Structure 1
Amino acid sequence: MKVLCVAEKPSLAKSISRILSNGSTRARPTRNKYIQNYDFSCMSNDNRTVQVTMTSVLGHLMAYDFPPEYQNWLQVSPLTLFDAPTEKHVIRGIEAIRDNIAKEARNAEQIMIWTDCDREGENIGSEIVAVCRGANSRIKVSRAKFSAIISQQIRHAWQSPVDLDYRQANAVDARAELDLRIGAAFSRFQTLSLQNLFSELRNKVISYGSCQFPTLGFVVDQYLKVQSFVTEIFWKIYVALERDGSMVEFHWMRNHLFDRLACVIIYEKCLENPTATVVEVKSKEVKKWKPYPLTTVELQKTGSRYLHISSDRLMHVAEQLYIKGFISYPRTETDQFDKQFDFRSLIEIQTQDSRWGNFATRLLAGEFRTPRNGSHNDQAHPPIHPTLYASDLTGDELKVYEFVVRRFLACCSDHAVGHETIIEIKLWEEKFTAKGLVILARNYLDIYPYDRWGESTLPNFQKGETFIPTTCEMREGRTSPPEYLTEADLISIMDQNGIGTDATIHVHIAKIIEREYARKDNRNGKTYILPSNLGVALVEGYDTIGFDKSLSKPFLRREMESNLKMVCDGQQQKENVIRDSLAMYKDMYIKTSENVQKLIQVSINFEYNM
């Protein structure tokens, strides 16, 4: 019996074949220089020795496109693209990969799909099956389910195959067709309407994407908030007491007032009645909660904020660590570990490290605590965690691996514990408070430097005691504008609004920068994402048209993503989602074309710095 195994990437095919063959494979070249076929024998789950050929693709084999007669931008109205026929064909340039799979399938009785275990992986698997069945209609299909490129998981996947999930594959097909039609129609419309107005745009495609534009919309909205912000003067009362060699600052419970006269009156009353009374002394144990298990979105947010690596680069590095077997699959929505998860063996392999080995040893010696359970479980992959010990990583790979390890060990530790004291005083009729914190047990903070919990000790105060403050002043301040969006901020907003998936958020951010709709800007030690003039003009132009659901806002795409999730769950049919989503966007296109002069006028009002 011959089994054909197909992985999503050449590196995965090589790693998986080494594990299943115990390092004994024979490699054969193919017509594609990146791909080899690996032949070996292996014991099947019914204790038979079978002949295996492991090969791979380079991601998707196929793509949707319009027939040639719809390719001419000047001869075909963009409106027709909402209803034009589409065809799914093998991507140009990778015919040799298709031919290799078809050739191997002709002599195989079974094909096992080893693509990544997510929506895209299911869809790529369905494309591989289509090619194989075109060459051998009787071939049996199975799917390997795994989350890490380690011996235990790969051998279990080989012995316990599952079925390919065609509902997830259909959801990806639906999204691909929708993105093609919507993106092509609006990209052609934008380009043809605006390109000739400005010399800087004459050689540019002004592309539209139903995820890109809401992403850009978030950036523009925050930018305009900052630009339109008008600072206001406020006044507050500052009270401080020097005691036991330290200065205790008390914060006014009103915070501040925008009415200067009102603040003056209160301040004068405080001066007339200068004795403060301690009305409350509260002491309690407090905890700083350890982090939840690591998801893809959290990896991107925390990584971009603390590791100073872009989300796009970070995901590429995480993918490489996964392929090398050092971390689990880096695309997951799950923030809870299974009850049977083997924490001990994964902690034990980290005891050899000079940076966190002692902490891992402490966990094994009795300090281990079960990780917290978040509220998300995609039923596909566990949270991101280290799977092997890595001692020779450098650069960004080292940074990302170290973060994954520290996050995992922190999850397995206990919450930090502190003692908080709150002092409340009364000066005249006004109340002020001071807070102090003493950390009693750092616990997870010892391994997780990305969280901070600062101590601030207070001298002793007794309820009912009185004192005259060392300082009592009325001070002037000004409101500060909001900050521009950092990449971590943008990822959070996209996730909250359902724009993109955990696996594609970083792609959409990279795309608006690549299209020169936005740029990264370093200010005051932070990296912000700011829109270009063109980005602002496009968003403002669409908003000026007055849609019920603007093309630069998340509502349409969020609804589409919700419907695609229902396709995955078997609650919606692919064809219905495509039909309903296209109807919504087609209506928006018609309204946009009827108001194109508004879009043009807003764009003219901006000077382009391309």
Structure 2
Amino acid sequence: MRVLCVAEKPSIARAVANILGGGNVNMRESNSKYIKNYDFSFNFAEAGNCEVTMTSVVGHIIRLETKPENRWGMCSHGKLFDCDLVELVDKQDVFDNISKEAATANKLMIWTDCDREGEYIGFEIFKAANKGNRRIQIADIWRGKFSHLERNHIIRAANNPIRLDMKSVAAVACRMEVDFRVGTSFTRLLTESLRQHNLIESKEVASYGTCQFPTLGFIVDRYKRVKSFVPEAFWFIDVEVMKDGTKSGFNWTKGHFFDRLYVLCLYERCLKHDFGTIVKLESKPTTNWRPLPLTTVELQKDCSRYFKMSAKRALDAAEKLYNNGYISYPRTETDKYPPTMDFRGIFEKQKQDSRWGSYANDLLSSGHQMPRNGSHDDKAHPAIHPVNYVNLAALDNQDQRKVYEYVVRRFLACCSKDAVGMSTTATLKWGDELFTASGLMVLERNYLDVFIYKKWESSKQLPSFTEGEQIKISSGKMKEGKTAPPNHMTESELIALMDANGIGTDATIAEHIEKILTRRYIAKQKVGKNEYIVPSKLGMGLIEGFDKLEFENISLSKPFLRRELEKSLQDIVNGTKIKAEVFAQVKEVYKKAFAKSNENIRVITNECQKLMR
């Protein structure tokens, strides 16, 4: 029996072939310079000893396209919502290699990433294989379910194949058709209109995407809030006392007020008293919780926050680490580890490192904590974790080194005890007003010793106050402050907003941010140590123009439409809706929005002109 195995990337094909072939693998060239074919033997649990060829694709190999009569400039833009589409082979040499290798195969086994997109790419692989061998049918396909490249894990996946998830295939097909029809129609409309008014260069494209514009909308909304902000004065009472040579500041429990006269009245009452009274002392244990297991979104947010690394760079580095077998699959929504996780095995591999090895060894000798479980589980992959050890110096670049070290330290932190401290709060009564001061003593750092990115330190300790103690007020002042504007958007904040509003998936968030950056709808600005994202004049004009159209019950610059689509796609996966039903509903909404945009395109171009000239 001959089995054709196809992975999603060449590096995965090579790694899986070497594991299953036990090192006894013959490599052959293909017609594609990126693709190799690996021949070996493997004893499958379901089929016995088989001759195997392992090859791969490089992502999608088939794309949607219009027929020639509906290409750009050949038809009205609105026709794209209803015209026939065709599937074109996007990478002919890769497609032909699969067809050729399938011709003599008895079985097809898919080794694509275990997410929705991976299921659809698996379906594309089936189409290529079926062209070369009509005996290969959907019902006969094996599908390897794996999340990392550790040897025993891959062998288990080979011996316990599942079926291709055709409901996930249908969901991705629905999303792809929506994005293609909506994206091409609006993109042609915007591009031609902006070119006519010399608002973009003749070779530039003003693309529209159902995720791109809500992402841009978040940035524009924040920018407008910053620019329209008007500072407002407020007043508060500030108190200091001196004891045992230590000066302690107390904060007014009422915060602040915008009514100066009201605060002045309260302050004048306080001034009648030279002493205050410690009316309450409270000391209690406090805990700084260790982090939850790592998801893709958290990885991107933290890399942006700690390393000033873009979401795309972080995901690219994680992908390379995964392809090389160092970490688990980095595209996951799951923030928990499976009960079968071999924690001690991972500690054993990491104890050789000079930076965190002694900490890993302590977890081995003293015992580890079971990680906290989050509330998310995508049923496809566990939370991101290290699989094999690699010396940082052996990695290709700084991005990979930072991401790998972060993943390891986060994993060790998850398996550690929470940090423990003692918090002390003193309440001072001066006149009729109450003020508080707090101090923190960190007693056990625990996970903080390995998770170096988070700070939790002892504060200046309070003097030894006693309840009922009378203490002289050394300074009591009424002070004025002003409200401050919000900061512009950071990439970490943007990722969190996109995730919370269902804009893109954990795997595509980085792509959407990168796309609007490439289109020059946004720019990144560095202010001190921080980097902010602001809209360009073009980006601002497009959002302002669409917002002025006032569509009925919808917005093309807000996240609601895309969020509803994502929910409907999950309904297809769950089997409660079918693709045709979801597509028809979504298409009708966007078709009406396009018709209104087409009729009022001058409103959009006017807004862009107003800002750009």
TM-score bracket, normalised by the shorter chain, equals over 0.9
After TM superposition, the structure 1 = structure 2 runs for residues 281-296 of structure 1, keeping only pairs within 5 Å, are 281-296=281-296
Determine the C-alpha separation between the residues in 2 that align with 1:33 and 1:42: 26
Question: Which range moves more in the overlay, 593-602 or 10-19?
Answer: 593-602
Note the alpha carbon deviations across 1:535-564, whole angstroms, 9 max, x for none. Answer: 000001111111232100001111111101
The aligned counterpart of 1:68 is 68
User: 1:408 Cα shift?
Assistant: 0.2
Contact 1:123 1:169 in 2 (8 A): yes
1:107 corresponds to which of 101, 104, 108: 104
User: 1:72 Cα shift?
Assistant: 3.0
Counterpart AA for 2:533: I
SS in 1 for 2:42: strand
- TM-score if structure 1 supplies the norm length? 0.97
Note the alpha carbon deviations across 1:309-343, whole angstroms, 9 max, x for none. Answer: 11101101100000110000000110011222211
Contact 1:274 1:428 in 2 (8 A): no
Q: Does 1:576 align with 2:578?
A: no
User: 1:192 Cα shift?
Assistant: 2.1
Determine the C-alpha separation between the residues in 1 that align with 2:542 and 2:246: 55
User: 1:203 Cα shift?
Assistant: 2.9
Contact 2:39 2:54 in 1 (8 A): yes
The aligned counterpart of 1:558 is 563
After TM superposition, the structure 1 = structure 2 runs for residues 166-315 of structure 1, keeping only pairs within 5 Å, are 166-198=166-198, 200-315=200-315
User: 1:201 Cα shift?
Assistant: 3.5
The aligned counterpart of 1:398 is 401
The alignment yields a C-alpha RMSD, in angstroms, of 1.2
The aligned counterpart of 1:86 is 85
SS in 1 for 2:511: helix
Q: Does 1:491 align with 2:495?
A: yes
Counterpart AA for 2:112: T
The aligned counterpart of 1:567 is 572
Contact 1:303 1:400 in 2 (8 A): yes
The aligned counterpart of 1:466 is 470
Note the alpha carbon deviations across 1:52-79, whole angstroms, 9 max, x for none. Answer: 1111111101011111110033x41111
Determine the C-alpha separation between the residues in 2 that align with 1:354 and 1:344: 18
Question: Which range moves more in the overlay, 57-66 or 468-477?
Answer: 468-477
User: 1:256 Cα shift?
Assistant: 1.4
Determine the C-alpha separation between the residues in 2 that align with 1:245 and 1:535: 57
Q: Does 1:528 align with 2:532?
A: yes
Determine the C-alpha separation between the residues in 2 that align with 1:231 and 1:428: 31
The aligned counterpart of 2:504 is 500
Determine the C-alpha separation between the residues in 2 that align with 1:24 and 1:423: 71
1:121 corresponds to which of 108, 112, 118: 118
After TM superposition, the structure 1 = structure 2 runs for residues 446-461 of structure 1, keeping only pairs within 5 Å, are 446-456=449-459, 457-461=461-465
Note the alpha carbon deviations across 1:138-174, whole angstroms, 9 max, x for none. Answer: 2231011100011111111111111111111111111
User: 1:46 Cα shift?
Assistant: 4.6
Note the alpha carbon deviations across 1:205-262, whole angstroms, 9 max, x for none. Answer: 1110000000000000000000000011112111012223332110011211212222
Determine the C-alpha separation between the residues in 2 that align with 1:199 and 1:344: 60
Counterpart AA for 1:237: I
The aligned counterpart of 2:369 is 369
SS in 1 for 2:236: strand
Counterpart AA for 2:293: P
SS in 2 for 1:606: helix
SS in 2 for 1:433: strand
Counterpart AA for 2:506: D
Contact 2:199 2:608 in 1 (8 A): no
SS in 2 for 1:469: strand
After TM superposition, the structure 1 = structure 2 runs for residues 34-45 of structure 1, keeping only pairs within 5 Å, are 34-45=34-45
Contact 2:522 2:536 in 1 (8 A): yes
Determine the C-alpha separation between the residues in 1 that align with 2:605 and 2:11: 49
Determine the C-alpha separation between the residues in 2 that align with 1:359 and 1:507: 36
Q: Does 1:542 align with 2:546?
A: yes
User: 1:365 Cα shift?
Assistant: 2.1
Determine the C-alpha separation between the residues in 2 that align with 1:597 and 1:415: 59
Q: Does 1:49 align with 2:49?
A: yes
User: 1:199 Cα shift?
Assistant: 5.2
Counterpart AA for 1:77: S
Note the alpha carbon deviations across 1:476-500, whole angstroms, 9 max, x for none. Answer: 2111100111000000000010000
Note the alpha carbon deviations across 1:384-432, whole angstroms, 9 max, x for none. Answer: 0000011122511110000000000000001111101111111111111
User: 1:49 Cα shift?
Assistant: 2.0
User: 1:367 Cα shift?
Assistant: 4.3
Determine the C-alpha separation between the residues in 1 that align with 2:364 and 2:187: 57
Determine the C-alpha separation between the residues in 1 that align with 2:285 and 2:34: 59
The aligned counterpart of 2:386 is 386
Determine the C-alpha separation between the residues in 2 that align with 1:199 and 1:353: 55
Counterpart AA for 1:486: T
Counterpart AA for 2:144: A
Determine the C-alpha separation between the residues in 2 that align with 1:294 and 1:570: 29
The aligned counterpart of 2:135 is 138
User: 1:48 Cα shift?
Assistant: 2.7
Note the alpha carbon deviations across 1:551-594, whole angstroms, 9 max, x for none. Answer: 00001111111101111111111111111110111111122223
Across the two proteins, how many residue pairs are aligned to each other? 605
Question: Which range moves more in the overlay, 382-391 or 331-340?
Answer: 331-340
Q: Percent identity?
A: 47
Counterpart AA for 1:565: Q
SS in 1 for 2:612: coil
User: 1:474 Cα shift?
Assistant: 1.4
The aligned counterpart of 2:426 is 423
Shift >6 Å, 4+ stretches:
none
Determine the C-alpha separation between the residues in 2 that align with 1:214 and 1:114: 34
The aligned counterpart of 1:335 is 335
Contact 1:295 1:335 in 2 (8 A): yes
The aligned counterpart of 1:511 is 515
User: 1:189 Cα shift?
Assistant: 1.3
Change (3 A) 1:142 1:536: same
Counterpart AA for 1:589: F
Determine the C-alpha separation between the residues in 1 that align with 2:342 and 2:335: 16
The aligned counterpart of 1:408 is 411
Counterpart AA for 1:605: K
Contact 2:72 2:188 in 1 (8 A): no
User: 1:475 Cα shift?
Assistant: 1.4
Contact 2:498 2:504 in 1 (8 A): yes
User: 1:596 Cα shift?
Assistant: 2.4
User: 1:47 Cα shift?
Assistant: 7.1
SS in 2 for 1:272: coil
User: 1:597 Cα shift?
Assistant: 2.8
Q: Does 1:602 align with 2:610?
A: no
SS in 2 for 1:470: strand
The aligned counterpart of 1:477 is 481
Structure 2 segments unaligned to the other structure (5+ residues): none
Counterpart AA for 1:354: S
SS in 2 for 1:485: coil
The aligned counterpart of 2:149 is 149
SS in 2 for 1:584: helix
Determine the C-alpha separation between the residues in 2 that align with 1:46 and 1:83: 46
Structure 1 segments unaligned to the other structure (5+ residues): none
Note the alpha carbon deviations across 1:261-295, whole angstroms, 9 max, x for none. Answer: 22222222111123211111111111011110000
